[in-house]
Amino acid sequence: MTPQNSDDIALVAMFMDVNTRESAFTSIVKKYQERIYWQIRRMVVSHDDANDVMQNVFIKAWNGLQNFRSDAQLFTWLYRIAVNESLTYIEQMKRRSSISMDDESLNLEDKLESEKDFDANKAIWKLQIAMQQLPEKQRIVFNLRYFDELPYEEMSKVLDTSVGSLKASYHHAVKKIEDYILNH
Amino acid sequence: MKNGENILTETCSISPAVGNLPKTNPYSLSKEYFSEFPSKIYQLILVSSVSVEQEDMLLTLRDETLKSTQVFSLPTNYFESFSHNLAKKIAEISEIELELHELAPSLLSLKKENPFKIPANYFQQNKIAKPKEKAKVVGMFTSKAFFRYAAAACFVSILYFSYLATNTPLKENTLATTISVEKNNNLSDEGMVSFLNEVDEVSNNTENEFTAEESNNMLVDLNQETIKQVLSEIHEDEMKEFIELTGISDNNITN
């Protein structure tokens, strides 16, 4: 049992107690909010959208923590909620754009360009643009592996996919990003 | 970080160009965001779910408020029902908001204002306007053409039925209808026998009638010469006997 894991178990136990619920939840949010936020932000790009998804994630966490099984890892569980909520949000944006016949809500590239300090010639922005070209699953895998440095075993729990499939997805994602960067 | 190094090595082996990219975060974010987020999310959760503890907290707040606001008058049982009503209201709102949040978060930001306008004091005007003129009643039989067509229809129907009455073989019809009626009425054997007798009588009568007709026709065909010839063949004594029996006068015989 890792120290991080034992810490999470203690936080969950505190959450189960009505008297310490608020402080336990605040500790959990403080502990994981940044990693969760950046994971979401790289998926939905704009801060407002990321903030909406963040709220959904932690409201769901509050409602679900009372039934949380201690054998599962808190971080993996939170990541899983974040990934699902991001995908749901993107799906809603797609539906909204198909109804309104307006691509702006879906065009993540446009959102990237509206970011402060955006420079298409800089490598860090090129990487972000290249990521937006990836299919959603590959984008998530690349995010979790490249930026969050998650081991494949943990990613497998988050995404409920086999390690082999994740390795293949990461390989394809890296190749596609390389192709974009070399040609732009 | 051993895992990080492994990932870098893996990425470089797939693509050195991507592996050597700087991992700098290009996105901007306010410095206060992460420090404020925990309290904000907790407030949001409070709004979305009022539990027993929060209700107790509201009750404590009520007691403290009561102590500090003795100089003001309040409706009776205001605070007793306030926390309950407030909790109920919050629960209702939060349930709706949560649902809307899940279905369409963008709708939450929209103001629930009514875009429609109504004339000034519309709801204060309770008068119901009476109809100015009485509705015109249109009679069904005012048209003269109706009577013309009705009279024509009556005349045509009278002609038709009179034609039917004169050209229909009445006796055959009555016989046929009688038979059909009798068939339908499941008669007993005796009934059937009496019915057949009646039919025989009817047919005999008709035969006699036809014979009389034939004789009449024959009389019509006789001319005066034939009659004189027939009369000359009768003996005078027979004639006298016949006259005495019938009582016909001499004038009638000569004629």
pLDDT at B53 over 90: no
pTM: 0.50
Residue B71: per-residue pLDDT: 47
B29 and chain A: CB distance < 8 Å anywhere?
Answer: yes
Which 79-108 residues of chain B touch chain A by CB within 8 A? 98, 101-102, 104-106
Q: How many residues does chain A have?
A: 184
Closest CA to A90 of A135, A33, A38: A135
* Tokens, residue A15: 């959450």
- The pLDDT mean for chain B works out to 70
Nearest CA in chain A to B102: A56
Percent of chain B topping pLDDT 70? 44
A chain contacts of residue B48, beta-carbon cutoff 8 Å = 59
Residue A105: per-residue pLDDT: 44
Measure the CA angle with vertex A33, ends A31 and A37; round to 5°.
150
For tokens 């894991």, the residue is A5
What is the Cβ-side half-sphere exposure of residue A142, based on CA atoms within 13 angstroms? 27
ipTM score of complex: 0.71
Q: Find the CB nearest B53 among A18, A62, A146.
A: A18
Are A94 and B104 in contact, with CB atoms under 8 Å apart? no
pLDDT at A173 over 90: yes
A chain contacts of residue B104, beta-carbon cutoff 8 Å = 92
| C-alpha span between B183 and B196 (Å, rounded) | 12
Name the minimum distance, in Å, from the CA of A83 to any CA of chain B: 15
Residue A67: per-residue pLDDT: 86
B chain contacts of residue A55, beta-carbon cutoff 8 Å = 41, 44
A chain contacts of residue B49, beta-carbon cutoff 8 Å = 62-63
Are A99 and A59 in contact, with CB atoms under 8 Å apart? no
* Cα-based distances in Å from A22 to A108, B38, B40, B42, B60: 36, 10, 12, 8, 18
**Start-end of H helices in chain B:** 2-14, 16-19, 33-48, 52-68, 78-103, 105-108, 144-167, 170-184, 189-221, 224-233, 236-246, 250-254
Q: Find the CB nearest B21 among A25, A117, A123.
A: A123
Tell me which range, A136-150, B61-75, B173-187, is most confidently predicted by mean pLDDT.
Answer: A136-150
Are B71 and B85 in contact, with CB atoms under 8 Å apart? no
Residue B7: per-residue pLDDT: 85
Of the given ranges (B4-13, B29-38, B189-198), which has the lowest mean pLDDT? B189-198
Question: Which H or E run includes A34?
Answer: helix A21-44
Of the given ranges (A19-28, A49-58, B136-145, B212-221), which has the lowest mean pLDDT? B212-221
A chain contacts of residue B21, beta-carbon cutoff 8 Å = 123-124, 127, 181
Band (B63; pLDDT cuts 50, 70, 90): low
Q: Find the CB nearest B14 among A22, A125, A174.
A: A174
| pLDDT, tens digit (0-9, with 9 covering 90-100), for B103-119 | 776 666 666 665 666 66
What A8-15 contacts at long range (C-beta under 8 Å, 24+ apart), as own/partner pairs, is A8/A73, A8/A74, A8/A75, A9/A70, A9/A74, A11/A74, A12/A65, A12/A68, A12/A70, A12/A74, A15/A65, A15/A66
Distant-in-sequence, close-in-space partners of A134: CB < 8 Å, separation ≥ 6: A142, A173, A176, A177
Residue B36: per-residue pLDDT: 86
| C-alpha span between A59 and A177 (Å, rounded) | 34
Q: Do B26 and A115 touch (CB under 8 A)?
A: yes
Name the minimum distance, in Å, from the CA of A97 to any CA of chain B: 13
pLDDT at A152 over 70: yes
Name the minimum distance, in Å, from the CA of A158 to any CA of chain B: 17
What is the Cβ-side half-sphere exposure of residue B214, based on CA atoms within 13 angstroms? 6
Instruction: Report, as an integer, the average pLDDT of B47-58.
Output: 64
B34 and chain A: CB distance < 8 Å anywhere?
Answer: yes
Q: Do A125 and B11 touch (CB under 8 A)?
A: no
* Tokens, residue B92: 């209702």
| pLDDT, tens digit (0-9, with 9 covering 90-100), for B76-95 | 666 566 666 666 766 666 66
The CB density around residue A180, as the number of other CB atoms within 10 Å, is: 18
Closest CA to A166 of B26, B188, B10, B169: B10
First to last CA, chain B: 163
For tokens 């492994």, the residue is B6
Q: Do A128 and B26 touch (CB under 8 A)?
A: yes
| pLDDT, tens digit (0-9, with 9 covering 90-100), for A76-130 | 999 999 999 999 998 888 887 776 655 544 577 788 888 777 887 788 888 888 8
Are A109 and A132 in contact, with CB atoms under 8 Å apart? yes
Are A123 and B23 in contact, with CB atoms under 8 Å apart? no
Q: Find the CB nearest A127 among B3, B21, B34.
A: B21
* Cα-based distances in Å from A174 to A127, A138, A146, A179, B39: 10, 9, 9, 9, 38
pLDDT at B156 over 90: yes
Q: Do A52 and B18 touch (CB under 8 A)?
A: no
| pLDDT, tens digit (0-9, with 9 covering 90-100), for B1-25 | 567 778 888 888 888 888 888 877 8
| C-alpha span between B234 and B83 (Å, rounded) | 144
B5 and chain A: CB distance < 8 Å anywhere?
Answer: no
Name the minimum distance, in Å, from the CA of A88 to any CA of chain B: 9
Q: Do A59 and B22 touch (CB under 8 A)?
A: no
